[in-house]
Amino acid sequence: MENEYNKQKYLKLLSKEYQNINEVAEEIINLQAIVNLPKGTEIFLSDIHGEYEPFVHILNNGGGIIKNKINDIFGDTITQKERATLATLIYYPEEKLKLIKQEIEDKEEWYTITLYRLIKVAKKVSSKYTRSKVRKAINNGFEYVIDELLHAQTLQEEDKERYYKAIIKNIIELKQADSFIIAIADLIKRMAIDHLHIIGDIYDRGKHPDLVIEKLKKFHSIDMQWGNHDICWMGASCGNKASIATVVRNCARYNNIEILEEGYGINTRPLSTFAIETYKEDDCLNFMPKVYDDSKYDKSDKAIIAKIHKAITIIQFKLEGQLIKKHPEYHLEHRLLLDKMDLKKGYVILEGEKYELNDINFPTLNPKDVYQLTKEEDEVVQRLCESFRHSQKLEEHMKFLYQKGELYTIFNSNLLFHACIPMKEDGSFQEVEFLGKKVKGKKYFDLVNETIEKVYINKENPEEELIDIMWFLWISSNSPFFGKSKMATFESYFISDKKTHKEEKNPYYYLSSQEEICNKILKEFGLKEKESHIVNGHIPVKAKEGESPVRANGKMLVIDGGFAKSYQVKTGNAGYILTYNSYGLLLSQNKPFESVEKAIKEEKDIISEIVVKKTGITRKTVGDTDIGKKLKREIEDLLELLKIYQLGQLKQAN
C-alpha cells in the first residue's frame, strides 16, 4: 500500500510538468526516439601522467574517429594529402588556418570547398544524436546557421544545393569563414566523443598535469577513477607531510620542479637553498633527474636538481618512518630501513640479508633517532606544507578530482578502476583492516570511497587519522591503488643489486588473466558476466615483450601502455585508446606523438594500430545504456500518467 501511495504521489508531481495528454504523449515520443538512436561513443584513457600534448591530440582527433569518418565520407574522391589537411584543420583550426591562408591563392574557392567538406563531416559525426543535443553543443554563435546546414531535410536536392551555396556565400562575403570553420570544427570534436573515461594517474612524470586537469574541467561528459599518483597529490593537498615530500621528490626525479613553482605557485626556494648547502660537496649522481631531451638542460641545472632530489628523498624517508611507527595497523614496519643502515661499514640489512650501499653520505641522519628531522629539514617541510595548503590553483584542481573522481565506476556494464582488488592466491578476496574495520571486495572499495569523500568534506578541519590514511592508500600492499609487496624507492636509490628492486604484485594482477576470476569480480559488483568487462590501468603493458592488454578471453582490458615518455622504452608504444561505440569495442595501440607543431605543420596524426575489435551481432542503441534504462523507466511512468489522464482519474490542464 505504501508503494502504491508513493507511486500515486509521484505521478501527481509528474503531472505538474506534463499537464495534459498531448504534453505526455509528446514527451513519450521524444524519449522513445532518443532510446532508439545509436549509442554514443565512449573513449577510455589511462595513465596520462601529465603528457598534455598527446592527450589533447587524442581528444582533438576523437581517438581516431574523425580521421576514420573523413576516410569513410571522401574515400578516394579527394587525395590523402587533402584528407590529412582537413583532419588537421578540425584538430587545430586556428593554428592551421594561419598556415593555410599564407599558402592559398584563391581564398574564396578554398573556403567554399572546405566549408562543404566540414559540413559533411559534421553531419556524419552528429547523425546519432538528436537535433536538440547537436544544437546545444554549438556554442560559438553560429547555432542557427549550423543547425540549418546540418538538418535541412525538407528541401529537394536541387533546392538544398542552392540553399547551401547561398549560406556559404554569405559566410564568406561577411568575412566570417574563419570563425565558422572554428565553430564547426569544435562541434565535430564535441560530437566525436560522447563520454570520456579517465582510468587514473593524471599526475607525475609528464610536465603538465595542471593543463590536463584544466582541459578535463571543460569537457562536456566525463568520469574519473583515481590512480595512485592522483591519491598522493590529493593527500599532499590535505597537508600530509609524507605525501608532500613524495610529490616533490617525484617532480625532482622527472625534472619537473616547474609544475610546483609555475603550475601551482609552490615555493621550493627554502628546499633548494637547504639542499645546495647541505649537499654542496656531494655530486648526488644517484639523484640525477630523468631527462628525455638533454639539449634543453645544462649540467648545472641538473646538478642543482640532483641535490634537491636527494634532500627531499631523505626527508620523505624520515616522514614515512614517523607514520609507520605511529600506525602499526598499517603493517609497514618492513619499510623502516634508515635504521637498518651501517654507514661506517656501508651496508643495509634488508629482509634479513646484508646489501652494500652505493651512497653513505647522509649528513642529516641523527644516529640516536634517524627518523627525526633536523631543525633545517623541519623548517623546509613547514614551508612546503604552507605552500601546498595555500595554493589556490592546487585547491581548485584537487576539488575537481575529489568531486568528479571515484575509486571505481560502473558505466554501461563496464567496471572501471585503476589498479587492483586485493586477492589471495586461491582467488578469494583478501580481507583488509581499514580504519578499524575488516573488509574485502566491493565492501572494501565502498569504504575507501566513503573515506576519501570524508577527507574532502572535512578538509578545513581534517581528522589526522583520515589524512594519514591517504598516504597508506598510496603505499600499502593492501591498497586498491597500489597492491604490490613494497614500494622499492629506498632500494632503487641506494642498493645496486637489482633483485632488491623487485616489487611483488598482489595475486590479482595474474589471477585476473583468468576468465573465471574476472567473472567472479564482475558478479561481486553486481554486473552480468556475459556482457561486462573490467578496464584497468596502472601496470604498463610491455607490448614489445609480447604482453597483451587483452586478458581473460576479452573480459579484462589493461590500457596503460606508456603515455609517459619514461615508460615508452619499456612498453614499445605510447598508450592505448579504448573505444566503445554502437558497434562494439575497439582497442588501439598508439605510436609516440612527436609534437603539436609537427601535427599542425606536417599534418602528423597519432598512428594507432588496432589490437582488438569486438563487434556485436546487433548495433547497440541508447536504450542499451545506463541512460537508456533510466529513460525507459521514465517512459513507463509517463505511460501510467497517460493512462490516468485517459481514464479521467486526474484532471488535465488546458
Question: Is 158 a residue whose pLDDT tops 80?
Answer: no
Question: Is 350 a residue whose pLDDT tops 50?
Answer: yes
Mean per-residue pLDDT, 351-371:
95
Q: What's the CA gap between 78 and 193, in Å, rounded?
A: 25
Q: What's the CA gap between 108 and 482, in Å, rounded?
A: 58
pTM of the predicted structure, to 2 decimals: 0.93
User: Which secondary structure element, helix H or strand E, spans residue 410, and what is its range?
Assistant: strand 408-411
Interval 261-311: pLDDT, tens: 999 999 999 999 999 999 999 999 999 998 655 445 445 588 999 999 999
**Helical segments of 193-262, H only:** 209-217, 228-237, 241-253, 257-258
pLDDT of residue 297: 47
User: Which secondary structure element, helix H or strand E, spans residue 438, and what is its range?
Assistant: strand 437-439
Q: What's the CA gap between 223 and 227, in Å, rounded?
A: 13
Q: Which of 345-349, 400-404, 454-458, 622-626 has the lowest mean pLDDT?
A: 454-458
C-alpha cell recorded at residue 446: 565502498
Mean per-residue pLDDT, 218-238:
96
| Number of residues written out for the chain | 654
What's 583's DSSP letter?
A: T
From the centroid of its chain, how far is CA 70? 27
Q: In the chain, pLDDT over 70 holds for what percent of residues? A: 96
Angle between helices 299-326 and 269-278 (to 10 degrees): 100
Question: Is 124 a residue whose pLDDT tops 80?
Answer: yes
| Mean pLDDT of the chain, nearest integer | 91
pLDDT of residue 615: 75
Maximal CA-CA distance, the chain: 94
For residue 389, CA distances in Å to 308, 394, 425 come to: 21, 8, 42
Q: What Rg do the C-alpha atoms of the chain give, in angstroms?
A: 28
Count helices and strands (H / E) in the chain: 27, 17
| Contact partners, residue 232, CB within 8 Å, separation at least 6 | 203, 204, 243, 246, 247, 250, 470, 474
Of 411, 459, 417, 463, nearest to 442 (Cα)? Answer: 417
Q: What's the CA gap between 401 and 406, in Å, rounded?
A: 8
For residue 316, CA distances in Å to 250, 260, 412 come to: 11, 17, 41
CB atoms within 10 A of CB 156: 9
Of 585, 583, 580, 535, nearest to 560 (Cα)? Answer: 535
How many Cα atoms are found within 13 Å in the side-chain-facing hemisphere of 360?
12
pLDDT of residue 151: 79
**352 or 546: which leads in pLDDT:** 352
How many Cα atoms are found within 13 Å in the side-chain-facing hemisphere of 292?
14
Mean per-residue pLDDT, 349-363:
95
Q: What's the CA gap between 172 and 154, in Å, rounded?
A: 25
pLDDT of residue 620: 92
Which 3 state secondary structure label does DSSP give 176? coil
DSSP-based helix, strand, coil % in the chain, nearest 5: 55, 10, 35
Q: What's the CA gap between 266 and 497, in Å, rounded?
A: 36
What residue type is assigned to position 582 of the chain?
S
Local confidence band at 160 (pLDDT 50, 70, 90 cut-offs): low
Mean per-residue pLDDT, 48-60:
94
pLDDT of residue 4: 67
| Contact partners, residue 210, CB within 8 Å, separation at least 6 | 259, 263, 264, 393, 397
Q: Are 574 and 592 in contact (CB under 8 A)?
A: yes
pLDDT of residue 159: 66
Interval 57-93: pLDDT, tens: 999 999 999 999 999 999 889 999 999 999 999 999 9
pLDDT of residue 1: 56
Q: Are 96 and 89 in contact (CB under 8 A)?
A: yes
Which 3 state secondary structure label does DSSP give 115? helix
